[in-house]
Amino acid sequence: MTEKRLLIFLLLALLDNAVSSDVFLVEPSTEPYYVKEGSEGLSIPCAVKPEYLDKKKYEINWARYNNGQLRMITKNDKLLVKKHSRFILENDAATGNYSLRISEVEKNSVEGTYHCNVIATDDSDMQYSALATVVVLVPPGDPIISTTPVESVIEGDFLTAKCVSVGGSPQPTFTWTLPNETIASSALFTTQYRDGATESLLHFRVFSSDDGKSVQCDVTNKAMLAGETKQVRSSRLNVLYKPIVFVTPTENLTHLSVEEGELVNLTCNAASNPPAHSYEWKHISSGDRYQGKVWPIYLNRSMDGDFECRATNELGEGSSLLKLVVQHTPKITVPPFVSPNEMEDVDIQCEVSAVPDVIDIKWIGPNGFKQNGSRLTLNGISKSQSGNYTCMATNFLTVYGQSGSQQRMGTGTTLVDVKRKPGQAQIVSSRQSVDVGETIKLVCQAEDAGNPPSSYTWASPSSGGIFGLEGHNDKSFEVRNAQLSDNGVYSCKAYNDLGEGKPAIIMITVIEQARISSPLATERIFTAGEQGKMLVCEAQGYPTPVISWLKDGVPIKQNSYESAATSESKCLPEDFCTQTVTSTLTFSRPLKWSDKGNFTCVADNGSDRDDKDSSSWSIIRILHKPVILNRKFPEKSLAAADIGSQAILRCKVSARPEPEFHWMFRDSEIFENDRLSFHTVSTFQKPDDYEQMLQIESVQESDYGEYVCRATNGNGGDDVVIELRRTSPPTLPLDLQKLSATSNSVLIGWVPQFDGGFNQSYVLESRKIDPYTGEIDDNAPVSRLDIHAVQQEYEIDGALISKTVFNFTGLTPLSTYNLRVQAVSEKGQSEFTPVLIASTEDVVEDPNMMSPNRLILDSGEQKIDVEPKLPSDACTLLYVFVDGIWRTSICHTTSNPIPNIVSGREYKARFCTTTNGLKCSPVSKTISSGSGSAWKTNVFIPVLFFVFISLAVIVFFLVCCKTRSSPKTSKLSPIILTSLPGDELKKPANYEETKNSTYMITENETDSINHHLSHENSQKPGKPGSNIEYDVSNDCYLQENTDVLKNSSISCFGTSETLDNSDNNEDRRIVREIIV
């Protein structure tokens, strides 16, 4: 069978696919088979039904068609291509499998259409084919943009760019990216395949924004990974366009709000190609011009309005407007002063100019005076109303570059000075006591200086208490080289043409500085157990010196020592001379070794001078046996060192005379050798304190254990066990406690334990209690701080007590913290101490600071707004009341509403500044956020109002119905009922009060009674609870006595006929039972 005939069969097979399923058990996929060049290849499946495997009737083969050429690959079970064959026939007569495997992929040898053919061998020309397309994937070549503009173009022109990619299988697709980085739509470019290359043409219009940018061409096909492309960019475009002008600074591209007095750099920017060569600014309203790009200008109110900037280049010019809004603090105009007489009326107008307009104008003055409005009115002024009256106007500026509204306040002050005599005098002095030889300086001023201005006069000890002598008629008064005779009372008063004010007095003390006249012995030696030992110190000076005693720089305790003082004077009390005082310090108990130390007597009588002669000291030594001062944990001292290192064991002792030291280890005395040595030193902190160190070089295992240090002298001995052990992490500190607190700090202290042989430091862990919940927030980070605490040591009855303290600062006022401490060293760390709950104190408020006057709660948004707005240099400290405790949150530094408010809490706030330490205003009123949700409140209140209105309507109808059912009013004169309000009415002497009385009153009698009572009522003013005119004919409750009703013609339930008949009977009597 020739290839020509086979080709015909193949073409016919394409038209006969409908019946191929009757021949083939398995056919190739209708989708192309994509393979990469050089890969191992693929298998093209094909299987025929058994009846078509008969070679006598049918021929089965594989053929490849590519580029117009047909090539036979197999025939029945034979492979026709054997040399360097890339094909393997997978033939299985049992299953009908006739698949073709391609073992090695090479594009020209493999790519094409493959046909699995079944052809009848007779002359019937029957044939069937199953087709498979194999495409060898080859990436496209790198794209090249071959056509782009090389010269400048003008904005609005059309440009064409051409991109070419050679090769690639299958044919590549193109994507264009425009200069504005958007993907070009398919309508802007065309793609065609020509001579093994694919090219694409892009047509687009250029804009000014395209200047300096480029287009990008991307190509890809199935040979590349998903999203992978090859790309190329064109050269940058040079687009020519006229200036596009924009001005800065602006708030919202339309205007700029600034404050008067600021320096603003009005800047004109222009985007253009070629660049703009000239800029010009113009103030539209004034016509002022400025040549240049940046116009630096100090703003005033006249500069308000539009500014225009123009920029020019070769293609034209562009312009932009900037509206400048010059805002300023209110400018106040008031008269500087007025001087009315008493009882005159004062009327002053406050003239205000402000941008934007003011929202509030008010006057404030002395004695808490306040008046709203621009006009100050004082009717019948008195001298107590004299003072400065200030007009205050407030507006809010929205200034560029600043967040929120900026409050500005303008003030103008008028001195209203009523003509009057001076008030109470006052004496100002920086000191009420001076040392001999110094100068007494006094200044007299009046609580009210008066009008006209006042003059001053003095009286002093030197003038014998007489005012107005020479040298005593100035506002200030001085006494140079003061002596004891200048002690006494000084007085001054103010006066003017209208009179004089009350005088002021001040007591001046001239001090002869205290000095020790009989000093202590430099050293005293006592014996332990002695009693009644004394130290005597004498001092002189004026006033009488006060002698105090110190031990080692600390005031002595009265329970251990007794001090007594006697004084002596050589002049009368009204005279002033040197005073002598003698103080005796007595050791009130038998002397102990701990009574040793540096004792100092200090004399003081108020002088500010420092003088070494005002104190005297004496070293007290106590003869006593040695006392060990080592710290014990708890029964023995500890030391630590690692093997091979140096160990130092310290033995601290107090003793007099100097002790001898002996060391024992494992019941044997230690002597110095090449590894062991002793070093004894006397400390300078306290007398008769000694320390001997046992130094061990190159520690060995056998050196670990308990050492005994024994110190002896002629008075006895003492010893201590010191255990040498291996180094270890430090031991857990004990007794963590709060010592004191301020509004932003907590002073804590603890007892340190053994350091394990290394210098130890500490870690402080803190967690703040959430003020909104009163609990620790588990999601909040834990704060850990490496601290270097201060260690303090002191002795109590021979025991060495050590305390470590740390001041934890930077905290929030009135807040609670959970604190714990951990000891750390290079060897490790201890456990944390138990938690200490410590709180800071509240702030100290400044009554002169502006405070919040209202808190506004937004329950829906869970926010609190504070009025007035926060000052620029302050923050808002919010207080939260939870579980009976007030705590604060952080200090909020913005004027925005405070967010994340929790329901069911009470809140208050104050303003605080931190410029010069924490300074806070008075606190606001308390508000409650409630415990329900906002929607419950919004629903419940209207429902409650509706129920109330409904009940009111029902009651109204019931009353109306009952009233309409009442009988007609009888034509009777009303009875006047007089209440008896106790002691307000006088009763006759023979008056007897009845408990229950019945009165019979006729209509005529009623008229006379009414006339009499009405006459009395006209003579007296009415009072609550006095005479009331009441028509009993309409009151059914006064007609409840059925017996009476039977005898009367009036009934609450009577008919109209009955009532009409009663009109004709004038003699009918009306019975009422009145309970008095």
Considering the domain boundaries, does residue 19 fall inside one?
yes
- CA distances to 128, 264, 299, 1028 from 260, rounded to whole Å, are 97, 10, 5, 73
Q: How confident is the model at residue 14 (pLDDT cuts 50, 70, 90)?
A: very low
State whether 749 and 865 are in the same domain: no
| Structural contact between residues 385 and 392, judged by C-beta atoms closer than 8 angstroms | no
In this predicted structure, the answer to whether residue 685 has a pLDDT above a threshold of 50 is: yes
Domain carrying residue 474: 425-509
Residues 93 and 43 in one domain: yes
**Residue 709: exposed, middle, or buried by beta-carbon count in 10 A (0-12, 13-18, 19+)?**
buried
Residue 847 forms part of a structural domain: no
- Quickly list DSSP for 348-367: EE-EEEEES--SEEEEEEGG
What stretch of H or E contains 1007?
A: helix 1003-1019
The answer to whether residue 77 sits within a structural domain is yes
Residue 754 to residue 161: CA distance in whole angstroms: 84
Q: Which of 786, 807, 839 marks a domain boundary?
A: 839
Does residue 849 lie within any of the structural domains?
no
Residue 1047: pLDDT band (50, 70, 90) is very low
Encode pLDDT of 620-666 as tens digits. 999 999 999 988 888 899 999 999 999 999 999 999 999 999 999 99
844 assigned to some structural domain: no
Assign residue 654 the CATH number of its domain: 2.60.40.10
Task: Look at residue 1014 and tell me whether its pLDDT is greater than 50.
Answer: no
82 and 101 both lie in a single domain: yes
Residues 11 and 107 in one domain: yes
In DSSP terms, 396 is beta-bridged to 407
What is the rounded distance in angstroms from the CA atom of residue 764 to the CA atom of residue 430? 46
* Statement to judge: residues 150 and 195 lie in one domain: yes
Residue 165: beta bridge partners?
A: 198
CATH number at residue 912: 2.60.40
Both tokens of 787, joined, read 């601290």
Average pLDDT, the chain: 82
Same domain, 340 and 439: no
What string of H, E and C letters represents the secondary structure of 283-299? Answer: ECCCCCEEECCEEEEEC
Which among 815, 822, 818 is positioned nearest to 835, based on CA atoms? 818
Give the pairing of strands 337-338 and 406-416: parallel
pLDDT at 215: 93
Residue 883 within any structural domain of the chain: yes
Per the model's pLDDT, the better-predicted residue between 470 and 704 turns out to be 704
Same domain for 526 and 571, yes or no, is yes
For residues 199 and 217, membership in a common domain is answered with: yes
pLDDT category, 609, cuts 50, 70, 90?
Answer: confident
DSSP string, 264-322: EEEEEEEEEESPP-EEEEEETTT--EEESSEEEEE--GGG-EEEEEEEEETTEEEEEEE
Q: Is the dihedral of CA 181, 184, 188, 191 positive or negative?
A: positive
Cα atoms in the 13 Å half-sphere on the side-chain side of 983? 0
Residue 848 falls inside a structural domain: no
pLDDT of residue 1041: 40
Read off the pLDDT of residues 924-933 as tens digits, 9 standing for 90 and up.
989 887 644 4
Q: Which residue has the higher pLDDT, 1024 or 780?
A: 780
> Cβ neighbours of residue 575 under 8 Å, at least 6 residues apart?
none
Please say if the pLDDT value at position 1031 is more than 70. Answer: no
Q: Which of 341-350, 867-876, 979-988, 1042-1051 has the highest mean pLDDT?
A: 341-350
705 Ramachandran zone, left/alpha/beta (phi>0; psi -120 to 50): left
pLDDT tens per residue, range 538-558: 999 999 999 999 988 888 876
* Residue 693, strand partner residues: 650, 679
H-run or E-run covering 656: strand 647-656
Does residue 999 carry a pLDDT above 70?
no
Domain boundary among 237, 254, 289: 237
Task: Output DSSP code: residue 186.
Answer: G
pLDDT at 1023 over 70: no
Average pLDDT, integer, range 401-409: 84
Compute the distance between CA of residue 173 and CA of residue 231 in angstroms, rounded to an integer.
Answer: 12
Single out the residue of 839, 639, 622 nearest to residue 715, CA to CA. 622
Q: Which residue type sits at 927?
A: I
- Percent helix, strand and coil across the chain, each to the nearest 5: 10, 50, 40
Per-residue model confidence (pLDDT) at position 384: 83
Q: What percent of the chain stands above pLDDT 70?
A: 84
Question: Among 394, 416, 438, which residue terminates a domain?
Answer: 416
Question: Could you tell me if 1031 and 912 lie in one domain?
Answer: no
Q: Is 802 among the domain residues?
A: yes
pLDDT tens-digit series, residues 89-117: 899 888 989 999 988 888 888 889 999 99
Q: Which residue has the higher pLDDT, 913 or 977?
A: 913
Average pLDDT over residues 142-157: 85
Q: Select the more confidently predicted residue: 231 or 960.
A: 231
- pTM for the complete prediction? 0.47
Task: State mean pLDDT over 439-468.
Answer: 90
Q: In the numeric block, which tokens belong to residue 424?
A: 């109470």
Please give the tally of structural domains in the chain: 11
* Cα 655 from Cα 624, distance rounded (Å): 6
* Least confident segment among 428-432, 899-903, 967-971: 967-971
4 confidence band (pLDDT: 50, 70, 90): very low
pLDDT, position 1037: 35
pLDDT of residue 20: 64
- Look at 316-320, 697-701, 969-973 and tell me which has the smallest mean pLDDT: 969-973
User: What pLDDT does 705 receive?
Assistant: 95
In this structure, the answer to whether residues 440 and 492 fall within a common structural domain is: yes
Sign of CA dihedral 447, 452, 453, 458: negative
Q: How many CB atoms lie within 10 A of CB 240?
A: 18
Same domain for 886 and 949, yes or no, is no
Q: Are residues 553 and 494 in the same domain?
A: no
pLDDT digits (tens, 9 = 90+) for 27-81: 999 999 888 888 877 899 999 998 888 888 899 999 999 888 889 989 988 888 7
pLDDT in tens, 805-828: 999 998 999 999 999 999 999 999
Question: Strand pairing of 144-147 and 689-696?
Answer: unpaired
Per DSSP bridges, beta strands 433-435 and 504-518 are parallel
Which pLDDT belongs to residue 119?
92
Q: In Å, what is the CA distance from 1069 to each residue of 1049, 1057, 1066?
A: 9, 18, 8
What pLDDT, on the 0 to 100 scale, is given for residue 869?
82
Q: Indicate the residue type of 718.
A: D
Question: Could you tell me which residue, 961 or 281, shows the higher pLDDT?
Answer: 281
More confident residue, 778 or 773: 773
pLDDT band, residue 916 (cuts 50/70/90)? low
